[in-house]
Amino acid sequence: MTIAYASDKNYAALTAISAVSALRYNPGARIVLLGYNLEADAQELVRSCVEKAGGEFVYKDVSPAIGKLVEQGVCPYTSYAAYARIFIPEVLAEEGRILYLDCDTLVDGPLDELFSLDLQGKPFALGYDCILSHFKRYIHQPLELPYYNTGVMLIDLAAWRAHRCTERVLAELAHPSGPNPLGDQDIIVRVFPQETRPIDPKWNFLSQFFLLSYKGLRRIVGEGENLLFSPEAYREARQRPVIYHFSGHTLGRPWFTSSRHPMRKLYQSVAQSADLASAAEQVRPMPMAYRVQYLLYRLLPQGLFDRACRWLYRLHVRLTYKV
């Protein structure tokens, strides 16, 4: 079992915590770290945590490849390191499968079922994202097509190469057919709508899923849209997620002292086991919009809260992207 992460110096500690959580349930897994301008001490931090947890550590420097993208002026999103995932099949020569995880994830169960998923001949599998239909319009994604989250990506290396996925992403980055405010995620969503295998939300459990009902989630992404997973799969995911993904600031990221996230104690526990307790005690206030969201969640019935979230999301997209 091979699990890949990408990091620059700012995310090394979070990467180590996520890797340690994966190794708790998947002992002996190989952890591949894709580094972008990653200093030796940051590499050593991740290496020592992985090896202490019983995993095998491999480091790959992808700085030259990403440097070319920086020269092109591509959107950095949170970090240019995120673009490393599109080079995974280029820097790893083997066949088989690899699971890419963003560093803001926490694994809370075995991954064997995910690794054995039938990909139906497609090069990769992704989870569904909680994105308003107006945002899809902004990035020139047809409204009838799904919008995925690339923070958890199961890749069939041979199929990826056969479909020339890296080359196609680079071509779109060079001559984009729309804006890409969320970096390569927008590119991947736009280029591969028919070549993506959807996965159940338990494998990429976004923080929004703690708050929204199935009907509320449909309200956010568009009333008529197929969520690509059933109410039963959503219910199962909410009862027992396997991979938590702390994307955005919903409920507050669990390594911030202001967090109201239900997984904060678990996150602190894993960080402590990795001797990185201080990394899970960062002092940063929760942004106002998310404090309002949390307050509404505590005060309103589920149906009214779902409607309020639709309005909040719409306001955010309008103010941020002018659509």
Q: What are phi and psi of 31, to 5 degrees?
A: -105, 120
Q: CA 27, CA 139: separation in Å to the nearest integer?
A: 40
Q: CA 151, CA 149: separation in Å to the nearest integer?
A: 6
Whether 224 shows a pLDDT value over 60: the answer reads: no
For 159, the token pair is 């199929």
C-alpha dihedral, 185 to 187 to 193 to 198, nearest 10°: -10
What pLDDT is attached to residue 97? 96
Give the mean pLDDT of 291-317: 93
Whether 180 shows a pLDDT value over 80: the answer reads: yes
Enclosing H/E stretch for 101: strand 97-101
For 65, the token pair is 């490849």
Greatest CA separation found in the chain? 53
Q: What are phi and psi of 276, to 5 degrees?
A: -125, 35
Parallel, antiparallel, or unpaired for β 196-199 and 124-128?
parallel
For 178, the token pair is 């729309």
Hey, which residues does 33 pair with through a beta bridge?
5, 59
Q: CA 142, CA 304: separation in Å to the nearest integer?
A: 29
Whether 222 shows a pLDDT value over 90: the answer reads: no
What pLDDT is attached to residue 226? 67
Whether 223 shows a pLDDT value over 70: the answer reads: no
What pLDDT is attached to residue 227? 77
Q: CA 66, CA 75: separation in Å to the nearest integer?
A: 12
- 77: helix, coil or strand? coil
Superfamily of domain 2-249: Spore Coat Polysaccharide Biosynthesis Protein SpsA; Chain A (3.90.550.10)
Q: CA 266, CA 263: separation in Å to the nearest integer?
A: 5
- Least confident range from 3-17, 116-130, 138-152, 291-305: namely 138-152
Domain boundaries, the chain: 2-249, 250-286
Enclosing H/E stretch for 184: helix 184-191
Residue-wise pLDDT tens digits, 34-77: 999 999 999 999 999 999 999 999 999 999 999 999 988 888 77
What pLDDT is attached to residue 18? 98
More confident residue, 186 or 224: 186
What pLDDT is attached to residue 279? 94
Looking at every residue in the chain, the average pLDDT score rounds to: 93
The confidence band for 30, taking pLDDT boundaries of 50, 70 and 90, is very high
